[in-house]
Structure 1
Amino acid sequence: MRDVKKGEEPKSLLEHRVQAHSTYENYPHKDALRVALVQEQNGLCCYCMGRIRATAGSMKIEHWQCQATYPDQQLTYTNLLGACRGGDGQAANEHHCDTRKANRDLKWNPANDAHPIEPRVSYGFDGTISCVDVEFDEQINSVLGLNLPFLRSNRKAVLDVVLKWWRLTPPARRNLQAQIDRRTLEQAEHDPFSPVAVWFLRQKMTGAAQ
């Protein structure tokens, strides 16, 4: 998971929200909303960090606080995130992200500045994601399914590449910030699961990763 920096909400969403009897269901400009969410998330799912595109077939518009329980939040932009399809159409044990979460609550919202995610999660070299907070660590697995084998494998592949760079590049420590910038500042669309590599590089900068 990674922190999501919300941008300016689409004008159509603001205009719709102030109308009488406005709901998410009768909001007619979901395509524009998808574009805004994908752009501010650099083309990555808010939960698993896999690739999403601004089409209904590639992503879901996730309500961090679900519409069923929190109807007053259904048009609040900070409550809206771009999520992958999450195994939609597959067996239930393959569901992840929004598809698995459904109407359940999460302790932290990736788009809330008061809920910083990145300092709280870490990754094992087998690709496992975990959190020192016991409650959220449980939600990572039971609510979001982020440690399904194929997601662990994707994260491990990214870690393997950056670890190889670290070991085979003699002046690697001097180039850490450049590597981070390349993955965060120089690409409008980030590589899938690239925040895992950024986590590793930042750990190296602080001396926390061995």
Structure 2
Amino acid sequence: MIKITKGKEPQEWTAKKKTSGFTKYSPIPELRQALLEEQGYICAYCMRQIPVKDKSEKETSKIEHTMSRATHPDLQLDYTNMVICCPGSINDDAHCDKSKSVGAKDISFSLFSIPDIKSISYSSKDGIIKSTNPVIENDINKVLNLNNKLLKANRLQTINGVIEVLTLKKWKKSECEKQLADWKQKTIRDIQGEKQLAFKPYCGVVIYFLEKKLKQYA
């Protein structure tokens, strides 16, 4: 995961909320687009590129309320409570928002907090995502199901790629810093045939290993 920086809500959503009688959440296209652009077209939880189509799913993305609408109805229209996720159903194995919505669960950590995101690490052995915080660790596995088989495999492929590059190229500190800055930035990418400012999929994994490498220069 990477820290999400929230911007201002789209003016269309602000206007919609002022509509007489509009008290129950119902998304509009401008809201979804604002979240996609804000997050650079990657899932808030697993970092897959979105839009993406999973088998058995009609949607290409899901607007997620970090504090669920069922338990926090007062926050259902709050833009700061919203992120965007992938459809969350790889091979019918629910994860991300799809898993979290079962039982109307909340997550116990903040996607907008540097300390919470910094507690997360990735295993070079099997692609597992984990946290030094036991509460976040529980959310990763029990609420979001982020260690399902395919997500682990995707992360491991990314990890193997970055380790191979670091091993073969033997980058100096300056090059590692340059690469880290690049992976932290949105760049022009092809998203369903259109050029968009987007993060690279699974960028948080690469950022973690580049930062780990840079600590060796200290």
TM-score, reference length from structure 1: 0.88
Aligned to 1:142: 142
Give the number of the structure whose residues are more often strand, by fraction.
2
User: Residues 67-146 of structure 1 correspond to what in structure 2 (within 5 A)?
Assistant: 67-87=69-89, 91=92, 94-102=93-101, 103-110=104-111, 112-113=112-113, 116-125=115-124, 126-146=126-146
Identity of aligned residues (%): 30
Residue 139 of structure 1 aligns to a residue whose secondary structure is helix
> Partner amino acid for 1:164?
E
Residue 89 of structure 2 aligns to a residue whose secondary structure is coil
Aligned-pair CA distance for 1:54:
9.2
Q: Aligned pair count?
A: 201
Which segment is superposed worse, 115-124 or 3-12? 115-124
Aligned-pair CA distance for 1:163:
0.5
Residue 61 of structure 1 aligns to a residue whose secondary structure is strand
Q: Say if 1:34 and 1:54, in contact at 8 Å, map to a contact too.
A: no
Matched, 1:7 2:2: no
Relative distance call for 1:171 and 1:100 in structure 2 (3 A) is closer
TM-score, reference length from structure 2: 0.85
Q: Say if 1:35 and 1:54, in contact at 8 Å, map to a contact too.
A: no
Measured in 1, the distance between the counterparts of 2:37 and 2:140 equals: 24
Aligned to 1:52: 50
Matched, 1:18 2:27: no
> Partner amino acid for 2:127?
G
Aligned-pair CA distance for 1:63:
0.8
Q: Which among 203, 207, 210 is matched to residue 216 of structure 2? A: 207
Matched, 1:182 2:182: yes
Residue 75 of structure 1 aligns to a residue whose secondary structure is coil
Residue 122 of structure 1 aligns to a residue whose secondary structure is strand
Q: Which runs of 5+ in 2 are unaligned?
A: 188-196
Measured in 2, the distance between the counterparts of 1:174 and 1:3 equals: 24
Measured in 2, the distance between the counterparts of 1:161 and 1:172 equals: 18
Residue 110 of structure 2 aligns to a residue whose secondary structure is coil
Aligned to 1:191: 200
Residue 74 of structure 2 aligns to a residue whose secondary structure is helix
Q: Which runs of 5+ in 1 are unaligned?
A: none
Measured in 1, the distance between the counterparts of 2:74 and 2:115 equals: 24
Residue 84 of structure 2 aligns to a residue whose secondary structure is strand
Aligned-pair CA distance for 1:26:
4.3
Measured in 2, the distance between the counterparts of 1:140 and 1:171 equals: 32
